[in-house]
């Protein structure tokens, strides 16, 4: 059985008051912590970059599976 490394590294991050407000609001809306918001944002960024490397695009689809927004610049 593989043993998972659960050690953590503490980071110090300087953000603008506006970005702090956004992170706080996202944490409240998702019922999570600011750290969780940042972890999920990084995970989403990783997915976007991996998709771009494969020649794929990132977008938003509606209920009918139609792409209505392409996310660019990531």
Go through the chain and tell me how many residues it has.
74
For 21-46, write each residue's pLDDT tens digit. Answer: 999 999 999 999 999 999 999 999 99
Number of domains in the chain: 1
In the three-class reduction of DSSP (H, G, I as helix; E, B as strand; rest coil), residue 54 is classed as coil
Burial of 58 (0-12, 13-18, 19+ CB in 10 A): middle
Residue 57, domain extent:
20-71
Work out the number of other CB atoms within 10 angstroms of the CB of residue 51.
Answer: 14
HSE-CB of 43 using CA atoms within 13 angstroms: 6
Position 67 in a domain? yes
Q: With beta carbons less than 8 A apart as the criterion, state whether 58 and 49 touch.
A: no
pTM (global) more than 0.85: no
Position 13 in a domain? no
Position 14 in a domain? no
Position 49 in a domain? yes
For 3-23, write each residue's pLDDT tens digit. Answer: 777 888 999 999 999 999 999
2, pLDDT greater than 70 = no
Enter the DSSP assignment of 69. E
């Amino acid at each position: 059985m593989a043993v998972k490394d659960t050690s953590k590294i503490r980071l110090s991050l300087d953000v603008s008051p506006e970005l702090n407000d956004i992170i706080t609001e996202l944490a409240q809306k998702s019922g999570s912590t600011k750290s969780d918001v940042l972890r999920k944002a990084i995970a989403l960024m990783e997915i976007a970059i991996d998709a771009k490397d494969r020649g794929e695009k990132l977008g938003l689809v509606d209920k009918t599976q139609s792409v209505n927004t392409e996310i660019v610049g990531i």
